[in-house]
Structure 1
Amino acid sequence: MLFLLLNIDDKRYALESQQVVEVLPLVILETLPHTPEYIAGVFNYRGRIVPVIDLCQLIRGKPCCEHLSTRIILTNYNNDEGDNSSESATSHVFGLMAERVVETLRKSDAELIDPNIQIDAAAYLGKMIVDDQDTIQCIDLDCLLSKVERMHFLPQAK
């Protein structure tokens, strides 16, 4: 499995590359009034308005720094709410802003370690990877985006 690595407050995190549509340089975002601090704003991506979630703000409570390596990771999220019919499945593109998005890592599924800790407020924290530097926390994008989506982007899904 190939993972895209990113940093949040000097801690490494990983996203499965299959969930990534494209990695973009930081662009100017249009901020929206009355949104939570972790909603960095929106931008036009090929004719679609894409919301961007600041992962640093969401996870650590402080905004991403604007470095050359700060990127917007476009992800494709399918909200099917447990129904497999194609009529109910809706595809959404979300942007995730993160720092130091510059490397990938290949690990087999057997190398992922389940920490056996369930944190309800952070259900998006998945398995962990141990490498020669430290541990890398995997982010379960489905849990992360379904929570954010339910709260702010799709009011009917609450």
Structure 2
Amino acid sequence: MSDLAAKGGVVAAAKKALFLVFHIGTERYALKATEVAEVLPRRPLKPIAHTPAWVAGIFAHRGVMVPVIDLSALTFGSPAQARTSTRLVLVNYRPEPWVDARWLGLILEQATDTLRCDPADFQPYGLDNRQAPYLGPVREDEQGLMQWIGVGDLLTAQVRTLLFSDDLTPQEAR
């Protein structure tokens, strides 16, 4: 193999990113692996009163209270099915650059596969879905469409305040 071909292979590999693939019903979605802190089995959660139905609860992990949302319930209004492949995925939630990343738990169905691809393969799908800003671009392959989920856009400001009240700026705390 020539040096030029070897360098080309390194550049092509550098453009690719790893994604965690999961399902909501029959539809495929992806999270960028750099946003995933840990993939855990489902576990019992303590419910949180007066939160939206898609806020599944909280649990203690390594001395930290972690809020958990059910992405299926958030997206389509139906809770994730309890399957052996349903996971509790800890993501590094960082809604704003000045806010330190915090763990946020996501209940995800069939979260057992990964995909390595060029992030540029995901393309805008032409809709302005302001009710679900976390639904990012889509990628087409032999299995159909897959949509990228934007972790930083998962929570509205109101829900973020409920779940992460200590992240408030001085102006928001008033």
Matched, 1:109 2:119: yes
Q: Does the aligned pair in 2 maintain the 1:7–1:100 contact within 8 Å?
A: yes
Matched, 1:9 2:25: yes
Q: Does the aligned pair in 1 maintain the 2:125–2:137 contact within 8 Å?
A: yes
Matched, 1:139 2:149: yes
Alpha-carbon distance in structure 2 between the residues aligned to 1:142 and 1:68: 27
AA of the residue aligned to 1:93:
W
Alpha-carbon distance in structure 2 between the residues aligned to 1:122 and 1:101: 21
Matches within 5 A, 1:46-61: 46-61=62-77
Matched, 1:127 2:143: no
Q: Does the aligned pair in 2 maintain the 1:77–1:145 contact within 8 Å?
A: no
AA of the residue aligned to 1:101:
A
AA of the residue aligned to 2:140:
V
Gaps of 5+ in 1: 84-88
- SS at 1:120 equivalent: coil
TM-score computed with the length of structure 1 as normaliser: 0.87
Q: Which has the higher helix share?
A: 2
Q: Does the aligned pair in 1 maintain the 2:51–2:159 contact within 8 Å?
A: no
Change (3 A) 1:129 1:4: same
Q: Does the aligned pair in 1 maintain the 2:56–2:70 contact within 8 Å?
A: yes
- SS at 1:90 equivalent: coil
Q: Name the count of aligned residue pairs.
A: 152
- SS at 1:118 equivalent: coil
Q: CA RMSD in A?
A: 1.8
**1:25 corresponding residue in structure 2:** 41
Task: Tell me the CA shift for residue 109 of structure 1.
Answer: 2.4
Task: Tell me the CA shift for residue 154 of structure 1.
Answer: 3.8
Q: Which has the higher strand share?
A: 1
Task: Tell me the CA shift for residue 40 of structure 1.
Answer: 0.6
TM-score computed with the length of structure 2 as normaliser: 0.80
Q: Does the aligned pair in 2 maintain the 1:6–1:102 contact within 8 Å?
A: yes
Query: Could you list the per-position Cα deviations for residues 90-116 of structure 1 after superposition, in whole angstroms to 9, with x for gaps in the alignment?
Result: 231100001101101111123221213
AA of the residue aligned to 1:59:
T
Alpha-carbon distance in structure 2 between the residues aligned to 1:16 and 1:29: 25
Alpha-carbon distance in structure 1 between the residues aligned to 2:164 and 2:18: 30
Gaps of 5+ in 2: 1-16
Identity %: 37
Query: Could you list the per-position Cα deviations for residues 63-85 of structure 1 after superposition, in whole angstroms to 9, with x for gaps in the alignment?
Result: 11111100011011234x454xx
